[in-house]
Structure 1
Amino acid sequence: MAHPARPGRHYPLRLGMAPTMTSPPLVSVIVATRNEERNIVRILRDLKMQTYPKIEVIVVDNESTDRTRELAAGEDGVSVYHLPEHVDLEGVMNFRGAQVNFGVTQAKGDIVFYPDADMTFERGLVADAVALLDDHDALFIPEVVMGDGFFGAIRRFERSFYNMTCIDAPRFVRRPLFDRVGGFDTKNIPFAPDDWDLHKTLRKADARFAITTAVEYHHEEWMTLSVYLGKKGDYTHAIEPYVRKWGADDPDVKRQLGVGYRFFGVFTENGKWKRLLTRPDLAIGMYALRFLVGVMYLLRR
């Protein structure tokens, strides 16, 4: 599936760069992998197409049984690490978070960016982010779900409502701030709510947030309804440690897990309800999907 056309979008490095910036900062991209041989070459080659000139790429793999590490090592300029060879994983609940945290320890950049391995990006994303980070500490990226058929269109439509909400999570962070908060809480928060947890931790540290104009593309063309619902069901018990950490009465937790916000608020706030009217077919499909996810959550509790 081709990227949706976005005519007239260009992000040359000079645009938006603060005049006080004497030297463009190095951006360290940390890609956590496990059995990503179908995705790893695509993201690594896509990163080479960025207009921003100062990028280092670090792949941290966790016991892939396919050719992920071999393929990553075959790409020029990419540093590849095998997590178990460098980190004691006893007591770790979130291996992806541990991979990113370790990658940051090996990074030389002033800015860290941790995309998923199955993503690609508009060519000006990193330049866009660097410009924004002159006045901010962490950035969200608008995400476009790349899926096939009506199901893919529903998910793409739904995801567009989440940008820079408590359902979303930042992917660019200034390195000093990431180090100060300790990165991902890998001993207490498992995979799934880990990005929400880091978002809240950054907010607690008074981070200044913004969102890029350039987008990231999440390649899930292979995703089916049954696989999607199964994944959501698997996340059910992962939520419990997150709720214990922040409290069931925390305003963000109540929005993230509550029917009111997840079914209505996030789709209607700030005038977003108007978009529901532009595509009633997708809106109906989206609510049907949210209902099925809710049923799956209740069945797995």
Structure 2
Amino acid sequence: MNSNFPLVSVFVASYNNARYIQQSLESVRQQTYPSIELIIVDDASTDSSVEVIREWLTQTGYEAKFIINETNLGVCKSSNVFLSHATGTYISWLASDDIMLPQKLDTQVTLLENSPQKVGVVYSDAVVIGADSKQYFSRFIQMHRQFVDVPQGYIFPVLLQDNYIPVMTALFRRSCFDECGWYDEDLNYEDWDILLRFARKFEFIYSDYVAAQYRVHSASLSQKLQSLTSLESSFKLLYKHIAINAECDAIIKGKLRHLLDRMYYLKSPRQREYMEKYYAYFNDEWLFKFALKSGLPYFRLLRIQRLLGRFTGKA
């Protein structure tokens, strides 16, 4: 560490990525930025991740805090374990199968140091790689959204549409967590929720420097986010932001309807509970009220209504 530079706390979230964790840790060690506090939290991995991490720490002599959860806590609780140990002015998050590019922290700390306090986050783009480390797509953001100019400033309405930000490329002021709260432990994934909460109060800036390699493989967390619990997490995190304004409500309304329809097809035992929660606020459509009472999927009823309208000439 170098006391002449602001300290960056880097969180490496480890879970069953023994094959890749050494590459992730090496990418932190190879950063050109000189003041890093590395904190590794292993969330009770069942593979050899802990042994690989210990071997890397011994071989490199790199200073780090290594925390091993006795039981699997999930990514949100593990992220809060990290925050409870982090002492840096800035926070950076890295999954144990992703890779930071060498000037990531150097570039982003400089940007935040020269920005007003209302700017809480700088983010960049990432290239997408596979299990074999070969590049699959040119850019992460291009996979999600086709922007003419990547958004900066107050990006909350854009971020509500979907999470297009690769979180491993972001650098946060610690003050964002102090003001907006830590990770929501009631959710089963962390990035979209924390980004939305920060985007309501802070401005974001975009750096065109490609800051990371984002790995997609069969065991990665991103491949598991289509589960029922993840749909429910998405509903919960979006519902936090209702009643900001009409524009945001319209976005949230459409996304919640879609989530409810998918819950129906996955036979969620809590679908009715979430439908009632939706209808308590968005109570302006008779068709949705009928779906709530009947337990039928709203979007299927809507399609039937539209087809009948075309057939009868009332569409």
Report the TM-score range of the alignment, normalised by the length of the smaller protein: 0.5 to 0.7
Distance 1:199 1:55, change over 3 A: same
User: Equivalent residue for 2:275?
Assistant: none
Q: Does 1:82 align with 2:68?
A: yes
User: Equivalent residue for 1:219?
Assistant: 215
Distance 1:141 1:257 in 2: 29
Distance 1:241 1:70, change over 3 A: same
How far off its partner does 1:27 sit? Answer: 0.7
Please tell me whether Structure 1 or Structure 2 has the larger radius of gyration of its CA atoms.
2
User: Equivalent residue for 1:103?
Assistant: 82
User: Equivalent residue for 1:117?
Assistant: 96
Distance 1:182 1:249, change over 3 A: closer
Distance 2:139 2:100 in 1: 18
Q: Tell me the percent identity.
A: 22
How far off its partner does 1:102 sit? Answer: 1.6
Task: State the AA in 2 paired with 1:137.
Answer: G
Alignment partner of 1:133: what SS? helix
Kept in 1: contact 2:127–2:138 (CA 8 A): no
CA RMSD, aligned part only? 3.7
TM-score scaled by length of structure 2: 0.62
Distance 2:227 2:253 in 1: 14
How far off its partner does 1:141 sit? Answer: 2.4
Q: Does 1:60 align with 2:41?
A: yes
Kept in 2: contact 1:142–1:160 (CA 8 A): no
Distance 2:111 2:7 in 1: 14
How far off its partner does 1:297 sit? Answer: 7.2
Structure 1 unaligned residues grouped into runs of 5+: 1-21, 90-94, 263-292
Aligned positions of 1:249-288 closer than 5 A: 251-252=247-248, 254-255=250-251, 258=254
Alignment partner of 1:191: what SS? coil
Q: Does 1:139 align with 2:122?
A: yes
Distance 1:232 1:68, change over 3 A: same
Distance 2:102 2:191 in 1: 24
Distance 2:224 2:199 in 1: 31
Task: State the AA in 2 paired with 1:40.
Answer: I
How far off its partner does 1:254 sit? Answer: 5.0
Structure 2 unaligned residues grouped into runs of 5+: 152-157, 269-315
How far off its partner does 1:53 sit? Answer: 1.0
Distance 2:9 2:125 in 1: 20
Alignment partner of 2:209: what SS? coil
Distance 1:239 1:253, change over 3 A: farther
Bigger strand share: 2
Task: State the AA in 1 paired with 2:64.
Answer: V
Task: State the AA in 1 paired with 2:226.
Answer: K
How far off its partner does 1:176 sit? Answer: 2.4
Task: State the AA in 2 paired with 1:237.
Answer: E
User: Equivalent residue for 1:197?
Assistant: 193
Task: State the AA in 2 paired with 1:146.
Answer: I
- Give the stretch that moved more between structures: 151-160 or 195-204: 151-160
How many residues were matched structurally?
A: 233
TM-score scaled by length of structure 1: 0.64
Greater relative contact order (CA < 8 Å, ≥ 6 in sequence): 1
Alignment partner of 1:114: what SS? strand
Distance 1:64 1:27, change over 3 A: same
Distance 1:83 1:228 in 2: 22
